[in-house]
Chain A
C-alpha cells in the first residue's frame, strides 16, 4: 500500500500574510490536522518503536550538537521550539503564542504561551527562552545553529511572557529560524547534557547510538499530540536492517528506506510507504573560482549534459522531482516557475564544451557520504557526458571524513542540501559571497545586494521579483548542477497513522504525531 501525501495546495502566500495568519491561528490547534485522519480517530496508548538512521555512538542530548535525523527526532520528543512549521510551510505557534515584527522587521516581539510546564514541574517563562536561545549564540557557542543566528543582536525578556529579539538588520523570516531543531526550550540554568523540556515524552534511558526510551509526558500542553504511552527510538543505520525490522514488526516506523527497494516495500504485506515531497536536493558542485570551472561555458556544458530524468528514475527510483540547477523547491511560494526546465541536450553540452576550450578529463569527486547513491549517479553522469563527447572521471573518495577533506576542497564534488524552510535561508547559507558554506565559491556582489533587499522587503510581490531574479542568476551562472530534488520516504506498519507531511524538517516530530489505529 502506498500513500502519497502532498503538501497543501501551493499558495503564493508571502511571509507577512503567512505570519499574520499564523499569529491569528493560535486558536487553530495543530492537533486538528491529525484529527482528520480516519474513522475512529487517534487513540491513546501503545508502545511505539521508531527505527532511524543518522545515529552515532558519540551522540549527545545537547541540542547544540544535533546534526542528524536520529538526535533531531529525539530532540522533538523531549522538547518544543517557539515556532512550528505546518504542512503548507507556514510558521505556526508552538511555545510562542503569537509574534509581531516592527514595521522595518528589525525588532520582533514573541508572546510566550502561558501555563506550560517543564518535565520537572517548573512553569515556562520568558527567562527560560532567553537562556535557551543564548546557548546557541555568542563567541563561545559550539552550536550548529550559530551560523544563522548572527543577525540577532540581543534576546531580552521584556515581560514574564514576552521575549523581544533585536536584530542588526531587517529580517523577515525570523519565525522560521526559531523553528529549527537546535532551538529547543529548556528551563533557565539547565545542564544541556541532561536537558529538561516541555515535550510530549520524557527521556528515561539514553544509550548513544543504540536506543532511546521515553514515556509520555502526562501534562503535555499540546492538544491532539503525544498518543503513545512510550516511545522507543532504535538506532539502525543500515537501510536493509531497518526495513527488515519493519517487515518483521519489530519497528513501527522507519526513515529512509532505500528508494531502490521502496516500491517492493510498498507491495510487501503489513507495511505502507509514506512519500513526502521535500526541499532536499542532491548536487554536483563546481568551484567557480578554480579553473577550468571558472568558465561559465564549461559549467553550462556540464549542466546541459546531465540526464536528470535517468538519475531520478535509476538512483531515486522516481521518488523525487527533477531539479533545475537552482535550490528553491517547487512548493516554495517564491519558486521561479518561469525558468525553462533544463533537459538532457548533448548537442548544447557539446556546443558549450567547444566554446569552453577545455581538454582532457573532468574529475568528479564523490562518496556515498555526500548522499546515498552519489557514486551511482556520478557513474550515470559519466555515461551522459560521454554522449556529448565530454569525458568525466569519477573518483570515489572515502566516506570517512568526506565533508572535511573533499567537500569545498576539491573543485568538483558531490554534495547535498537538506533544504531550508525559506528561500532566504537557503540562498544565504550556500550562495552569498561570504557564506561559510558557499560550496561553489560563487561571488556576485549584485546577488548579495538582491538578497539583502529581499530580506527587508515587506511587499510580497516585490519580494517575489527579487527572489525570481536571484534564482535566474544561479540558474544561468551558478556552479551547482542540481539534477534532482528528493522526496522523503518512510515505511510504517499498516496500523500506524497520524503522520503529518511537512515538506521541511520532515518527520522529525513523528513521535508525537503517530498513533495506533487498532487499539
Chain B
C-alpha cells in the first residue's frame, strides 16, 4: 500500500528530474562553449548572459549547464559505489561478527583516522588524474562512513527475534542479509544516501582547492563556487549561482529520499 504522493515529494521529484534532464542535454542547449571567453570578468546578469559571467569572463549559464552532467554524474557514481561497498561489508561484519567484524572494523578505523584530504592528496598525486580514479577514491573514502553506519544499524537488527528465527530455520547468509537485515535497516541508510550525495559534490570542490579534482577548463559546480568565492567579499552574486544549484539539487534529492523513507517505514508497519 502506497500513501498518496505528497506535494513535497512531487516538487522534489520534479526538480530531480529537471536536474537529470539538464545533465543529459545541458551541453546541447548551452548558449556558449564552457571554455569560451565571451565577456568581461564578473558581468552582472543580463539578456546576453542570464547568469552573468565568471572570473575569466565565461558565460555562467553555459558553464552551469556543462557542469551539471559532470557534477551530478561523478557524485552519483561515487555515492552509489560507496553504498554498495559500505553496506555489503557493514552487513557482513554485523551478521558474521567475530574476526570478520574485527578485521573489517580495524581496516575501516585505520582508513578513517587518516584525514580525508591528506589521504586524497597522496593517492591522487600517485595515481594518474582521471575521472575514474577520482570516482574510485571518493567512493572508497566515503564507503568507510557508510560501513560504520550500516554496521551499527545492522547490529541492532541482528539481535532481534526474527533474525534469530531465520538463523534457526537454517537460512543462508545471503537470505538473512537481503531479506531480513536489508529492509529493516533501509531508512537510516536512505537518509544517509541523500547526505552523502551532497557531500560528494562538496568533496569535489575541496579537491579542486588542492589542485586535484576536475581538470580545467571543464566546469563543476563546487569548483565554480571556489573559483568565484572571492566575489562574495564585495557582494557580487556570482558564486551564489552554483551554490544555489547545489543547494536546490540537495533539497530535491532529499525530498525524494524522505518520501521513499516514509514509504519504506509505512510498508513495514502494515
Contacts and interface: CB of A to CB of B under 8 A. Distances in A.
Q: Do chains A and B touch in the complex (CB under 8 A)?
A: yes
Interface of A: 239-240, 243-244, 258, 260-261, 264, 268, 310, 314-315, 317, 367-369, 375-376, 378-380, 382-383, 394-402
Contacts of A395: 215
User: Helix, strand, loop or mixed for chain B's interface?
Assistant: loop
A16 B234 CA distance: 49
Nearest to B122: A400
A382 B35 contact: yes
A251 to B, nearest CB: 15
30 contacts: A240-B230, A243-B233, A244-B233, A260-B55, A261-B231, A261-B233, A264-B234, A268-B234, A314-B41, A315-B56, A317-B41, A375-B211, A375-B216, A376-B55, A376-B56, A379-B35, A379-B56, A379-B217, A380-B37, A383-B36, A394-B215, A395-B215, A396-B216, A398-B121, A398-B124, A399-B210, A400-B125, A400-B211, A401-B125, A402-B211
Given A261-B233, A382-B35, A400 B56 contact: no
Contact of A260 (B37, B41, B121): B41
Contacts of B234: 261, 264, 268
Nearest to A379: B217
Contacts of A239: 230
B237 interface: no
B217 A394 contact: yes
A422 B33 CA distance: 45
A332 B56 CA distance: 32
B239 to A, nearest CB: 11
Interface in B66-124: 121, 124
A213 B147 CA distance: 48
Nearest to A239: B230
A217 B117 CA distance: 44
Contacts of A260: 41, 55, 230
Interface centre among A379, A382, A396 (most CB of B within 10 A): A396
A396 B215 contact: yes
A380 B216 CA distance: 11
Interface centre among A239, A399, A401, A402 (most CB of B within 10 A): A399
B44 interface: no
A254 B207 CA distance: 27
B231 A394 contact: no
A240 B231 CA distance: 10
B182 interface: no
A367 B217 contact: no
B229 interface: yes
A375 B78 CA distance: 26
Given A261-B234, A379-B217, A399 B211 contact: yes
Nearest to A247: B233
Contacts of A310: 37
Interface residues of B, number: 21
Nearest to A405: B125
Interface in B183-219: 210-212, 215-217
Interface string B219-254: 000000000011101100000000000000000000
A398 B229 contact: no
User: Which 5 A-B pairs give the minimum distances between C-beta atoms?
Assistant: A399-B211, A264-B234, A379-B217, A398-B211, A367-B211
A204 to B, nearest CB: 33
Contacts of B233: 240, 243-244, 261, 264
Contact of B35 (A367, A383, A402): A383
Nearest to A366: B216
Nearest to A377: B56
Contact of A314 (B57, B121, B124, B231): B57
A237 to B, nearest CB: 13
Contacts of B125: 398, 400-401
Nearest to B229: A240
Contacts of A317: 41
Given A261-B231, A382-B217, 7 more contacts: A258-B230, A261-B234, A380-B56, A383-B37, A394-B217, A400-B125, A400-B211
A381 to B, nearest CB: 11
Nearest to A398: B211
A243 B234 CA distance: 11
B49 to A, nearest CB: 16
Contacts of B41: 260, 314, 317
A380 B215 CA distance: 14
Contacts of B35: 379, 382-383
B131 to A, nearest CB: 14
A368 B41 CA distance: 19
Interface string B23-59: 0000000000001110001000000000000011100
B236 to A, nearest CB: 8
Contacts of A264: 233-234
Interface string B145-174: 000000000000000000000000000000
B38 to A, nearest CB: 10
Nearest to B228: A260
A90 B57 CA distance: 41
Nearest to B124: A398
A378 B216 contact: yes
Interface centre among B35, B121, B216, B229 (most CB of A within 10 A): B216
